[in-house]
Chains A and B, each alone.
Chain A
Amino acid sequence: MSTSEPGVIAILGLDSFVGHELALRLAERSPAIRTVGLDVRRPYMLDERVRFHPVDLTDPRADASLAEILAQERVEAVLHAAFRTDPTPDLELDHELDTIGSLHVMNACAAAKVHRLVVASSTMLYGPHPDNPNYLSEEHPLRGHPDAHSVRDRIEMERLLGDWRIGHPDVEVSVLRACWPIGPTVANRVVQYFSLPVVPLPIGYDPLLQLVHEQDLLDAFERALLTSRPGVWNVVGSGVLPLSVLFRLARKRTIPLPSALLDRLSYYPSQGQTGDPPAAFFDYLRYLWVADGQRGWDAFGEPVYSTKEAWISFVSSRRMRRYR
């Protein structure tokens, strides 16, 4: 196993938030690191220090073409962030990318003799369940949500990865399960929801939520890529806040609706946007799914932002709160 910094790093999913930001960070960090970016399309803005190769992970022969690129570039470490940021109504394509695409990545890494594989995962995989303990450790079974197809796909991905790891003990595999990232620049469905002018939410539930600041998330990924941290880690901000307090801090107006009404009203918008019934999202605002971050903090360093500070940084960047 190599303990020194890898010379060549490949980033799969260059156009994702984590991929894009990390490519910039690595390029800034030192000229000794060469960054290879891979994605299905050439990103609109591409740093000239990053070498780009197009790869379509939904292609059945993606494993061979990816292995060829990895071997040709002599890649030592791979960041796999080529997942759907948000679920889409095309359930089959999502599955092809998130699950089968990851299988291609694993096989290509094995063929190209990559030393280190860092995979972006999510604490959403634990799933919101009323019978969750207050803090979920990394060993807790991944139960997901029965309606959330994207979560289901990624649970299957982690299962495949677990099996694959046993067969390839010479590859250091780090899985970083991050909670909802938030901050001035990150954009996804959750951030969109939080930015709504008036936020609908299920009435009578006020679960504790945890958030991770985007910079803390990127710090963790950077450390996972540059140093040896094999294993599964929760990457979360410190502290928790009830959902109601988040909105109060943002001075946001909310419409609490009874669950049955909320699910009925948002059924078609939700199906159209994500391909899932609304419970697949709103259950994450009903029940606990807070992860225990202690091990991750020991491995990657204490987060700079707590959940509250991360939220404030998001709120103030969007100028949600009216200061006088």
Chain B
Amino acid sequence: MSVGDSQLRPLAGDDPARVAARVALAELRREIRGRFARAPVAARRTALPEDWERRFESLRERLGTLGMRERSGAVDEFGMDAESLSALRPLLDFLFDRYWRVAVGGIEALPERGPFLFVANAAGILPYDALMIAHAVERARGERPRFAVADWLITLPFVSPRLARLGGVRACPENALRLLAAGHSVAVFPEGAKGAAKTYRDRYRLARFGRGGVVRLAIERGVPVVPIGVVGAEEAHPILFKASAPARAFGLPFVPVTPTFPWLGPLGALPLPAQWVLRFGEPISYADLGRDAARDALLVSRLTEELRARIQSLVDAGLRARESVWSLAPGNS
């Protein structure tokens, strides 16, 4: 009481009980402050690193979010995340330079200004081809194209969120329109599921190109189409045949049987180190046709077939550039 008395002079007419309470409160506050006052720095020397608290916290947090370790909080409106991309870039670099030794041709001929609609042959179960195209374009031009992901991949847990963080969107006209309108280039694979499900026997023979959606989109948006022939992706997962009985059990469109999968288990899902070639063709502009041409079904179908033939010839050129599945012919680098 003695300490409080000197500081809190009771006002005239104040209720004595309230004065007593105020004094007790002041004393309690002082005691709490005293108890939590920081000791001098010298007295707190420990063997732990200075930021151990922060480190421990971040470790705990990482353990807590083990199942979904996307790194940053900032994604763009399509779910691409620059930070998880840069975290994966060393792996992509390794795949591009060392593992598949991707030989890129024709990309320097692209005009300065985008956006473009990249159209390529689809191959393989996982969209490695899309990732490699995006990587090649990003290296040459600094901007990363987005890529379309087939419907059935979108339903796959673990794979689909990861692809979205890397710039994948579901393959549908609404998404492509929105991306192009926002100024992003888009890589599409009009063969769709038919391309991914190609067996080794049918490799590099392009399947039908959807229903002409790509050409219609290019005409409507006035965006040039860049055909790309991808060689190598179809040997990364050579599908010997498709098993349908286990596919029905798991509700999948098909279960691929490759020389390594499912025999080696998850290890068999690793792609084979084939030699890759990416051939970029000259951009095709449909600007002189006018936007109404998109409604001319016969014209769209003819242009689609022409586009398919262009990509087929690029693929054939890419195949000629290789000596074998595993190496380039001499003189091609």
Binding site for B on A (CB under 8 A): 130-135, 137, 202-208, 239-245, 247-249, 251, 253-254, 256, 259, 287-288, 308
Whether B175 lies near A134 (C-beta < 8 A) is yes
Which residues on A sit within 8 Å (CB–CB) of B49?
A: none
> Please, how many angstroms separate the alpha-carbon atoms of A206 and B69 in the complex?
10
Task: Tell me the B127-180 residues at the A interface (CB within 8 Å).
Answer: 151, 154-155, 157-158, 160-161, 164-165, 169-170, 172, 174-175, 178
- Can you name the residue of chain B whose Cβ is closest to the Cβ of A136? B174
> Please, how many angstroms separate the alpha-carbon atoms of A248 and B66 in the complex?
12
* Residue from the list A137, A203, A254 in contact with B157, Cβ < 8 A: A203
* Residue from the list A133, A240, A259 in contact with B79, Cβ < 8 A: A240
Which residues on A sit within 8 Å (CB–CB) of B77?
A: 134-135, 239-240
Whether A135 lies near B172 (C-beta < 8 A) is no
Which residues on A sit within 8 Å (CB–CB) of B174?
A: 133-135, 137
A241-B178 in contact given A130-B155, A205-B161, A256-B68 (Cβ < 8 Å): no
> Please, how many angstroms separate the alpha-carbon atoms of A241 and B81 in the complex?
10
A131-B154 in contact given A242-B161, A245-B75 (Cβ < 8 Å): yes
B27 shortest CB reach to chain A, Å:
28
Contact mask for chain B residues 12-44; partner A; CB cutoff 8 A; 1 contact, 0 none: 000000000000000000000000000000000
Whether B70 lies near A245 (C-beta < 8 A) is yes
Number of interface residues of B (CB under 8 A): 28
Whether A135 lies near B158 (C-beta < 8 A) is no
* Residue from the list B68, B75, B170 in contact with A241, Cβ < 8 A: B75
B268 shortest CB reach to chain A, Å:
20
A208-B164 in contact given A133-B170, A135-B178 (Cβ < 8 Å): yes
Whether A247 lies near B65 (C-beta < 8 A) is yes
Whether B64 lies near A206 (C-beta < 8 A) is no
Which residues on A sit within 8 Å (CB–CB) of B75?
A: 208, 240-242, 245
> Please, how many angstroms separate the alpha-carbon atoms of A241 and B79 in the complex?
8
Which residues on A sit within 8 Å (CB–CB) of B72?
A: 245
Whether B67 lies near A242 (C-beta < 8 A) is no
Would you list 30 pairs from A and B whose C-beta atoms are within 8 A, ordered by A residue?
A131-B151, A133-B172, A133-B175, A134-B78, A134-B169, A134-B170, A134-B174, A134-B175, A135-B174, A135-B175, A204-B67, A204-B157, A204-B161, A205-B157, A205-B160, A206-B68, A207-B161, A242-B79, A242-B165, A243-B68, A244-B65, A245-B73, A245-B75, A248-B65, A251-B61, A254-B65, A254-B67, A256-B67, A256-B68, A288-B170
- Can you name the residue of chain B whose Cβ is closest to the Cβ of A258? B157
Whether B68 lies near A253 (C-beta < 8 A) is no
B57 shortest CB reach to chain A, Å:
9
B311 shortest CB reach to chain A, Å:
25
> Please, how many angstroms separate the alpha-carbon atoms of A291 and B70 in the complex?
23
- Can you name the residue of chain B whose Cβ is closest to the Cβ of A259? B157
Which residues on B sit within 8 Å (CB–CB) of A130?
A: 151, 154-155, 160, 170
A244-B68 in contact given A130-B151, A204-B158, A205-B161 (Cβ < 8 Å): yes
Whether B154 lies near A253 (C-beta < 8 A) is no
Which residues on A sit within 8 Å (CB–CB) of B178?
A: 133-135
> Please, how many angstroms separate the alpha-carbon atoms of A247 and B69 in the complex?
12
Which residues on B sit within 8 Å (CB–CB) of A132?
A: 170
> Please, how many angstroms separate the alpha-carbon atoms of A180 and B154 in the complex?
23
B331 shortest CB reach to chain A, Å:
44
Q: Other than the known A204-B157, A206-B161, what 17 A-B pairs have Cβ atoms closer than 8 Å?
A: A131-B154, A131-B170, A131-B172, A134-B79, A135-B174, A135-B175, A202-B157, A203-B157, A206-B68, A206-B70, A206-B164, A208-B79, A240-B79, A242-B75, A244-B65, A248-B61, A254-B68
Which residues on B sit within 8 Å (CB–CB) of A247?
A: 65
Which residues on A sit within 8 Å (CB–CB) of B160?
A: 130, 205
Contact mask for chain B residues 175-206; partner A; CB cutoff 8 A; 1 contact, 0 none: 10010000000000000000000000000000
Which residues on B sit within 8 Å (CB–CB) of A253?
A: 64
Which residues on B sit within 8 Å (CB–CB) of A208?
A: 75, 79, 164
| Max chain A Cβ within 10 angstroms of own Cβ: one of B72, B161, B169 | B161
> Please, how many angstroms separate the alpha-carbon atoms of A310 and B77 in the complex?
16
- Can you name the residue of chain A whose Cβ is closest to the Cβ of B178? A135
> Please, how many angstroms separate the alpha-carbon atoms of A204 and B164 in the complex?
13
